[in-house]
Every structure is written in structure tokens, then in C-alpha cells.
Amino acid sequence: MSAEVVVRGAVVEALRGDADLMAGLNGLFDGAPGRASAPYGVVGDCVALDWGAKDVEGREVTVTVSLFDAAESPARLAGLLGRVDPVLRAVEVAEGWRIVSRRLARSRLSRTGARDGWQALVDYRLRVVRG
């Protein structure tokens, strides 16, 4: 199976498996939901680049996680965002891929379009090798 599919699946499973994060969300979705009520989370884009070597098949996978909230301030969202980092740092990958490094690539907190809430977006870079 491709690294993108395996890593994405592992991220979704790990986030859904965190009781503290899920206690603060109405749902965590793999891709944009058709319908959701805030606060909720989305595992969005998953982009992979070749990161191999002569005898090693590897990928650098960047996964985007977004959290949405309709509150007046970003305080609740900040608490939820604080759970994402430890969860993603503990992700294990299976199905033939192994994580060799992981790090936060960027994060952003902003108002949503109509000033009706907040969005936190984080991109994580996970480097994986086959084996």
C-alpha cells in the first residue's frame, strides 16, 4: 500500500484514539465532512515526496490536520490543538512502512471566512521508509 494511504490512516486512527481530543470534538473526519457541527477536526491534504536512498524506499509525507470551532475566542481551540502534537509524535505506522522522523512543519490559527469561528491548521512532516 502507498505511504500516503498508510500514514494518513495511521494519523486518523491515532487522533480518533485520543480520548482527551475526542472529548472536545463533535467528530474527527477523514477529509472534508459533508456536514459537521463545531468543534470538529479534519485530516485534510496528504502530500508525499520521494525520500529514498540507493537501497531504501522512502517518502516524506506531509499531513494537514485542521480543527474548527464556532466560539468567540480561540481559547478552546488552543486546548484542542495542544493535543494534536503529542498524538502525532506517537503515531506508529504499519503495513510495511516505518516512521524515521516526524516534526511540525507549520501551524496557523485564524478566523474563518465569515467571522463565525476559528480554524487551527497544522502540517506535520513524517519521513517513512519501507520495511
Q: What's phi and psi for 15, nearest 5 deg?
A: -65, -45
**What pTM value is reported for the model?**
0.92
**C-alpha cell of residue 63:** 499531513
CB 35 within 8 A of CB 68: no
Q: Which residues contact 2 (CB under 8 A, 6 or more apart)?
A: 48
Q: Which domains does the chain have, with CATH numbers?
A: 3-33+45-130 (3.30.2000.30)
Q: Which residue has the cell 481559547?
A: 75
pLDDT band at residue 71 using 50, 70 and 90 as cut-offs: confident
Q: Please, what is the average pLDDT of the chain?
A: 92
Strands lying side by side in the sheet with 28-30: 28-30, 40-50, 58-69, 118-130, 97-111
Instruction: Check pLDDT > 80 for residue 115.
Output: no
Answer whether 44's CB lies under 8 Å from 108's CB: no
Residue 14 has pLDDT above 90, yes or no: yes
- What sign for the dihedral angle of Cα 7, 85, 107, 68? positive
- Maximum pairwise Cα distance, the chain: 53
